Structure 1
Amino acid sequence: MSEEKKNENAYQAKNAWSEMGEEEREEVFAFNEAYAKFLSENKTEREFASAAIAELEAAGFKNINQFKSLKKGDKVYVENRSRALMAAVIGEKDLKEGLKIVGSHIDSPRLDLKPNPLYEDGEMAMFKTHYYGGVKKYQWVTMPLALHGVVVKDDGTQIEISIGEKEDDPVFFISDVLPHLGKSQMKKSMSEGISGEQLNVVIGSIPVADEDAKEKIKEAVLNHLKSEYDFKEEDFISADLQVVPAFKTRDAGFDRGLLAGYGHDDRVCSYTALEAILDVKDPEYTSVVLLMDREEVGSMGSTGMQSHFFEDQVANLVDLYYNDYSELMVRKVMQNSKVLSADVNAAYDPDFAEVYAKHNSAYLGKGIVISKYTGARGKAGASEASAEFMGEVRGLFNNAGVIWQTAELGKIDEGGGGTIAQFLANYNMDVVDCGPAVLSMHSPYEVVSKADVYHSYLAYNVFLEK
């Protein structure tokens, strides 16, 4: 039988593994080993931002407040409330020619402690939580959980908390009803099987010896918090404490081609963007990486993309770059800028094939995903990249050997989602969504392809550099 001839005019996304040699494969695994370690160690926005700043400073970046003027080659960063940051390398071209921006977010779905979280019931001490972002509540029960965050006392003292990650740490736990008594629960829809108010974390069970104590187990926990961490119950009110999975990021599959971990959405893009700007040598345009907060809840708030943080920092760059500050120049810089909105897409899952448009879905192992638009149903709640900018990005990736694919987010009428792209596009910038595919997105344990992670890094680097 004769071999089927391939039509050179047809488009078919490539499998990245099939395109790489042994040397590149080793680079892929080494890059992902570093990423897995970073992801395991940095499970909150604060932790990610702090670790990112450490890497930036080690690479010669300095806080923008240390500069009185900016010139080609300067490397700067600025952080926002320890939960978001921007890094930039000043390029060869004049700033008014625009910036090359890769923008991502460092928040992930989780459980936050309520302001008054601690109570006792059923011979147990427990924490009340409030879920953050789009979660399937039933996925968060009966698994090991860790507590991360910061407690700020009324004198300004800050206490860093990370419990549940070390081998000798205790972990925490949310219970579920046993199947023997689950008749009523099993009749409910999956969204109602576990309610938000049932996401209560078991944190203790041994009472104090004081016979006069009213809530002996709660008091024992308070005594422990005071002796171990030096804070009292009222200090919960001024705390950012998050309950996250206690899992480490690990290789998945016999061939170790996948990574399973918490927070790939969107720290896989944030990490690869960070590494991309660290490796930028001599950019033509000023290169910028944005690591933002609050995307999972609409990008609102002082650390989200809808705040004035980004606009203020562009103004800061303009002020330090030119002798005479001009608001009009700020506008010119922004409207001439181009952006990769670095966010993930949904990987095709054959077990749930009915929600995916197979010919317009993202697949694990086929490289970074370029999404012309996101949004829901009739493209609502999102921006859309121009054909010209799509062509420019596609050409850039093709010439640099970046493996890429294109996709929508599932079938039109099944739902949808948005990214920070729409808010950057409001500045009259060219923007396109661009990130790897994720399996089981927004679950406590998501999966990505190591090849896609590496090609995301390559894509962001070439975009910033060229």
Structure 2
Amino acid sequence: MNNKNRTLKGLIEFLNASPTPFHAVQQMKARLLEAGFEALNEKDTWVLKEGGRYVITRNDSALVAWQMPAKRLLSESGLRMVGAHTDSPCLRVKPNPELHKHGYFQLGVEVYGGALLAPWFDRDLSIAGRVSFVNEAGELCSALVNFETPVAVIPSLAIHLDREANNGRAINAQTFLPPVLGQVDEKPDFRALLRDQLLVSGEEVVKVLDYELSLYDTQSAALIGLEQEFLASARLDNLLSCFMGMEALLQSDSEEGVLLVCTDHEEVGSLSAAGAQGPMLDHLFERIQPEAESRNRMLANSMMISADNAHAIHPNFADKHDANHGPILNKGPVIKLNSNQRYATTDITSSQFRMLAALDNVAVQEFVVRSDMACGSTIGPITSAEIGVRTIDIGVPQLAMHSIRELAGTDDLINTIQVFKRFFECKQV
């Protein structure tokens, strides 16, 4: 198996095993520990070593992995940072979700982030996330759950009952989206189902107290296209960037300071303890470089690549792009630019990225939103403003962003990992 096929196989396994941010962080942490990183707890006192490699998590849904420089002071080496986010638009289960209508057991759900809702209909759905409970010793515990098999579906209304369905119909998130889980005679207890699920996995559960659960499509990620040049999967935005950053970190041979940060809640604004607008990185920097002047020098010598997928030009909707800035799948990573600071890219950071890409003959594309359309944003401007570090926003081009199943190019994945690897290994940024 060549390196590309091995990487794609690993990516597909990672995507399938990561239906929620909790599971994605669990997968990444396990991979990093296997590679020799040391897990630290934010509650403990740390003793960091030159060249040491460490990983921390927060809320089980955000992760930072980093390497201390081996031969230079951190204030002189700085940090080569790649940032991404672990969350994706989805349907979240409400706290009191049980619905019993016409003999059907349904769940009340809430839309998380800017999801494309139409693709959620008629899919084989399961449920996953984190559950908090009291164990037999009276202690508060939490554990991840994943029903894995299809347990729910959101059936479409037949065309015979809605003749105008193909002419455009607004989807009411409150009334159209509750999924069907089965047929019952009386209103069921959803927490009892969760307790049973935890018991099967070996947990000692007296009472389920609360949960953060999402629905997800059980269809596996897959290589498609006549030459298998495309990757189709849920949550490519932005688990693809998390995976690329992790792979580059594991593959790089660097003696400098390097860091991967994967935060949560980007799709809803990043304002949380585990989000990019929270203090997670500030807290980390204060601990790894306690003296203020040295910390400021470290940041001045640092750079961040904010990695979040970019809008590829859609062949059926080409007019939605600026004619000169329509990225194409498998034509290289995309530099994202916006004059109104929706992206953090500057001419300096853009040029640095281009120089890194040129070392391996990796083509680079650009994305600028049409001047008559609103522009989305990323963790790039937030992180850049919060910690004052040079930043570039880039991403792999993709189609169907925020759908339940998205599409990206396989060559772009491999090439972007290589650029990240070069970035981690460079002596000066």
**TM surpasses 0.5:** yes
Alpha-carbon separation, structure 2, partners of 1:227 and 1:239: 14
Distance across 1 between alignment mates of 2:319 and 2:326: 12
Q: Aligned-pair distance for 1:224?
A: 4.9
Please state whether the residue corresponding to 2:262 is helix, strand or coil. strand
Deviating more after overlay: 69-78 vs 333-342 = 69-78
Shift of 1:199: 1.2
- Matches for 1:444-463 after TM superposition, within 5 Å: 444-463=404-423
Which residue type is aligned with residue 141 of structure 2? T
Residue in 2 that maps onto 1:414: 373
Shift of 1:278: 1.1
State the superposition RMSD in angstroms.
2.3
Cα distance in 2 for partners of 1:44, 1:142 equals: 20
- Asked whether the equivalents of residues 125 and 150 of structure 2 are also in contact (C-alpha less than 8 Å), the reply is no
Deviation digits for residues 66-108 of structure 1, max 9, x if unmatched? 8854343211111112110111112233211321100001111
1:313 counterpart = 2:284: yes
CA drift of 1:354 comes to 1.3
Question: Partner of 1:341: helix, strand, or coil?
Answer: strand
* Shift in alpha-carbon separation, 1:416–1:196, aligned structure 2, 3 A: farther
Q: Is the 8 A contact 1:64 1:76 kept in 2?
A: yes
Match for 1:395: what amino acid? M
Q: Shift in Å at residue 159 of structure 1?
A: 4.1
Distance 2:206 2:36 in 1: 42
Q: Per residue, is there more helix in 1 or in 2?
A: 1
The CA distance in 2 between the partners of 1:193 and 1:360, in whole Å, is 31
Residues 113 and 128 in structure 1, CA contact (< 8 A), matched pair in contact too: yes
* 2:140 equivalent to 1:156: yes
Q: 5+ residue gaps in structure 2?
A: none
TM-score of the pair, normalised by structure 1: 0.83
Q: Say if 1:137 and 1:196, in contact at 8 Å, map to a contact too.
A: no
Q: 1:261 aligns with which of 226, 230, 233?
A: 233
Which secondary structure state, in structure 1, belongs to the residue aligned with residue 359 of structure 2? helix
| Structure 2 residue aligned with 1:96 | 75
Cα distance per residue 1:406-432 (max 9 Å; x no partner)? 222x42223321001101211221101
Q: Which segment is superposed worse, 63-72 or 250-259?
A: 63-72
Task: Show structure 1 runs of 5+ residues with no match.
Answer: 1-22, 208-215, 319-324
- Helix, strand or coil at the partner of 2:372: helix
Counterpart pick for 2:257 among 249, 274, 286: 286
The question of 1:83 aligning with 2:83 is answered no
Map of 1:297 onto structure 2: 268
The residue type paired with residue 182 of structure 2 is G
- Between stretches 435-444 and 380-389, larger displacement belongs to 380-389
CA distance in 2, matches of 1:64, 1:150: 21
1: CA distance, partners of 2:207 / 2:342: 41
SS of alignment partner, residue 396 of structure 1: helix
Counterpart Cα distance in 1 of 2:244 and 2:355: 21
Residues 314-350 of structure 1, C-alpha deviations (whole Å, 9 max, x = no match):
11111xxxxxx32333233223310100111011111
Secondary structure of residue in 2 paired with 1:173? coil
SS at match of 1:218: coil
- 2: distance between equivalents of 1:354 and 1:122? 45
Is residue 137–residue 194 contact of structure 1 (8 Å, CA) maintained in 2?
no
Aligned to 2:218: 246
Give distance in 1, aligned partners of 2:105 and 2:341: 42
TM-score (norm 2): 0.90
Rounded to whole Å, the distance in 2 between the matches of 1:183 and 1:193 is: 15
Could you say what secondary structure the match of 1:360 adopts?
Answer: coil
Distance 1:291 1:274, change over 3 A: same
In structure 1, C-alpha distance between the alignment counterparts of 2:36 and 2:107, rounded to whole Å: 42
Q: 1:341 to 1:123 in 2, by over 3 A?
A: same
**Do the aligned partners of 2:330 and 2:411 also contact (CA within 8 Å) in 1?**
yes
2:322 matched to 1:338?
Answer: no
Residues 282 and 224 of structure 1, relative CA distance in 2, 3 Å threshold = closer
Residues 222-263 of structure 1 show CA distances to partners (whole Å, capped at 9, x for unaligned) of 66555454599983x610111111111011112111110001
1:354-386: CA deviation from partner (whole Å, max 9, x where unpaired): 101232121101111122x24xxxx44524422
Query: SS at 2:82's partner residue?
Result: strand
Specify whether residues 233 and 359 from structure 1 end up closer, same or farther in structure 2 by C-alpha distance, changes over 3 A only: farther
Query: What's 1:396 paired with?
Result: 356
How does 1:13-412 map onto structure 2 within 5 Å?
26-65=2-41, 68-91=46-69, 92-97=71-76, 98-154=78-134, 155-163=139-147, 165=148, 169-183=149-163, 189-190=168-169, 192-207=170-185, 216-218=186-188, 224-229=193-198, 235=208, 238-283=210-255, 285-318=256-289, 325-371=290-336, 373-374=337-338, 379-380=339-340, 382-408=342-368, 410-412=369-371
Report how far residue 115 of structure 1 moved.
0.9
User: How many Å separate the matches in 2 of 1:104 and 1:443?
Assistant: 19
The structure that has the greater radius of gyration is 1
Alpha-carbon spacing, 1:227–1:434, altered in 2? closer, same or farther (3 Å): closer
Percent identity over paired residues: 23
2:285 and 2:130 map into 1 onto residues whose CA distance is: 30
**SS at the partner of 2:411?**
helix
Q: Which amino acid counterpart does residue 261 of structure 2 have in structure 1?
A: L
User: Equivalents in 1 of 2:152, 2:340: separation in Å?
Assistant: 39
The answer to whether the 8 Å contact 1:96/1:329 transfers is yes
CA shift for structure 1 position 301:
0.9
Q: Using the alignment, how far apart are the partners of 1:312 and 1:431 within structure 2?
A: 19
The aligned counterpart of 1:321 is: none
* Contact residue 348 and residue 358 of structure 1 kept, 8 A: no
